[in-house]
Amino acid sequence: MARIDASVLTISPGRPLRGSVTTFGALVWSGFRRYATYRQATLAGSFTNIVFGFLRCYVLLAVAAGTSGLAGGYRPEQLATFVWVGQGILSVVGIWGWTELSDRIRSGDIAADLLRPVPPVTAYLAADLGRALHGMLTRFIGPVAVGVFFFTLATPVRLQTIPLFLLSVVLAVIGSFGCRFLVNATAYWLHDARGPLILWTLGVGVLAGLYFPLRLLPDGLTAALWVLTPFPGLLQTPLDVVVERDSPPVQAGLVALQAVWACVLLLLARHVQRRAERKLVVQGG
Amino acid sequence: MGELRAYAALLGGQVRSVASYRASFVIELFSNIGATALDVVTVFVLFRVVTDLGGFKLPEGVLMTAISAGGFVLADFAVGNVDRLKTYVRTGTLDAVLVRPLGVLPQLLLLDLPVRKALRLVVGVATIGIAIGLNDIDWTPGRVLLVVVAPVAAAVFFGAIFVISASLAFWWVDSGELGSAFTYGGRDFTAYPITVFDGWFRTIFAYALGFGFVAYQPALALLGRTDPLGLPAWAGYSSPLVALLAAVLAALVWRTGVRHYRSTGS
């Protein structure tokens, strides 16, 4: 006679790690598939990235032509690489336009997220990594290919540059996710995160190095931004890594700093989420 | 007269809805000033590194940026929200607008008039003032007229670009960010001397699409400089004509688009 067991079924009870890895992987895959359905928007977005690539590349090359030495320590072909790879990873890192969490908080849908057995920070991170993976496979190649075709780009010469760049992009995605989660989470207290979202959109373009490489600013200011804020880790670090702007130890050090910021942001996101859960009053009916 | 009253009612509703979320509105108002200021700051950062960008000095570069930014904020304030058209087409909200006995475009603009962007206009005008102060302009009646007309013409031009980009949604709903390449991209293009750009890219943006006549040519005319790219001096005064042409084209595209529109039917 079968014994009656009221406990919830667990995937491989002997190996608890396997269950969470499987769940995380499934969430990543779902994030990937979600973005894979917007094929035309992907195409339109790539076109826009390419136009902005031309705009920024010509401006920075003119800056390079106007200086007697190196502009911000970059050779012209390094600046071109900075711009084109930057347009390629822009939608991978995804610094703009994520309001899902704040929308769900405002509408009350967040209640459904809290019922799930996966913590919200983990679930949203997994979906975001899936989104980034889709971006890397579809949005990265277009701008970089156009850049290679129309401009002279710097080719990495160090063996470690490409693996370090890929690691740096993953850390940039995590860092960007952490920031966006925190900005969205202000809706737990404000009900409407529109103000903080606008401030974030405003600040991040400049402070992450999208509008111009941060090295064009005074050295002290650049260093302060790098250490005291997570922003340079979102774009400037992976781009400086891929153009080999610094010596190998500094190159690796920048990625290590980026990793520290990514961890800090995730821990902060988890902390904020827990605080919010304690006071949350679900809106809507 | 009744039509005007209806438009006024739409505008009044917009103002009231904004006023009901005061804290959020104040944050947005001031963030929007920051947005315009940052565009101008980028130009200053680049000129910190170089003394000469595409053959132009900082004050001259700032004059071009100022005309472009001034025109853009005015256009963005008045018609920028038309880029929401793709949401309206997708969700079918446009049907509600079409059945009313009022113009489609004015309704859409008043439905979403971004009151929060109002302070941007102040920044835009202030930037033009600063740019004029930085440059030593030899004032003639023609130039006085041009310094007033050029930003307005730039606004009309950018407005036309906004409408044309948004109209794309009538044919291609999933056009996503495509329009930004020409609206925000156009702003970035006109913020610098076009000598910075090169080859077919410059030819397309400056002459085929007309962005060269938004800020660059008028700035040359104000400064009394000859165009290194060879256009005659009167080209700077042609900016209102180019803007008018763009506006006529935008009106045609918009009308064709509205006639082409078939509701999603849901």
Q: Domain residues of chain A, as ranges?
A: 19-279
- The residues facing A28 across adjacent strands are none
pLDDT, residue B242, reads 94
- Inter-chain CB proximity A38 and B54 less than 8 Å: no
Q: CA separation (Å) from A141 to A49, A91, A144, A168, A240?
A: 11, 12, 5, 17, 19
Q: Which of A44, A52, A198 sits opposite B178 (nearest CB)?
A: A44
Q: Which residues of B touch A38 (CB under 8 A)?
A: 174, 176
Whether residue B29 is predicted with pLDDT greater than 70 in this model: the reply is yes
- State how far the Cα of A125 lies from the Cα of B123, in Å rounded to an integer: 39
Overall average pLDDT of the B115-143 stretch: 88
**Coil, helix or strand for A176?**
helix
**A202: closest CA of chain B, how far (Å):** 6
Q: Do B176 and A41 touch (CB under 8 A)?
A: yes
Average pLDDT of every residue of chain A: 89
- pLDDT band at residue A226 using 50, 70 and 90 as cut-offs: very high
Which has the higher per-residue pLDDT, B245 or B5? B245
Contact: B189, A212; criterion CB under 8 Å? no
Calpha distance B228→A144 (Å, rounded): 32
Minimum distance, in Å, between the CA of residue B241 and any CA atom of chain A? 26
> Other C-beta atoms within 10 Å of B82: how many?
22
pLDDT category of residue A202 using cuts at 50, 70 and 90: confident
Taking only the tens place, the pLDDT of each residue in A252-265 is 999 999 999 999 99
Q: From chain B, pick out residues whose CB is under 8 angstroms from the CB of A59.
A: 46, 192, 196
Interface of A with B in 58-97 (CB under 8 A): 58-59, 62-63, 66-67, 71-72
A42 has a pLDDT exceeding 90: no
Whether the pLDDT of residue A175 is over 60: the answer is: yes
Best of A37, A39, A48 to mutate (most B CBs within 10 Å, chain B): A48
Question: Quick check: A10 contacting B, CB < 8 Å?
Answer: no
Nearest to A255 by CA among A163, A177, A176, A179: A163
Choose the mutation target among A37, A54, A191, A221 for the interface with B, i.e. most B CBs under 10 Å: A54
Domain spans in chain B, listed from the N-terminal domain onward: 2-260
Distance CA A80, CA A152 (A): 7
pLDDT in tens, A133-142: 999 999 999 9
ipTM: 0.90
- A48, A55, A202 member nearest B38 (Cβ): A202
What integer pLDDT is reported at residue A10 of this predicted model?
Answer: 61
Task: Answer yes or no: are the C-beta atoms of A129 and A209 closer than 8 Å.
Answer: no
Task: Check if A40 contacts B (Cβ < 8 Å).
Answer: yes
Instruction: Give the type of residue at A285.
Output: G
Min Cα separation A170/chain B (Å): 24
A vs B: CB pairs below 8 A: 103
Contact across the interface for B53 and A62, Cβ inside 8 Å: yes
Distance between CA atoms of B202 and B166, rounded to whole angstroms? 23
For residue A13, what pLDDT is reported? Answer: 65
Report long-range pairs for B141-147 (Cβ below 8 Å, ≥24 apart): B142/B237, B143/B221, B143/B222, B146/B218, B146/B221, B146/B222, B146/B236, B146/B237, B147/B222
**Does pLDDT of A123 surpass 90?**
yes
Comparing CB atoms, the residue among B42, B53, B176 nearest residue A66 is B53
From the list B34, B48, B52, which residue is nearest A202 (CB)?
B34
- Structure pTM? 0.89
Nearest-by-CA chain B residue for A217: B45
What is the pLDDT at residue A213? 92
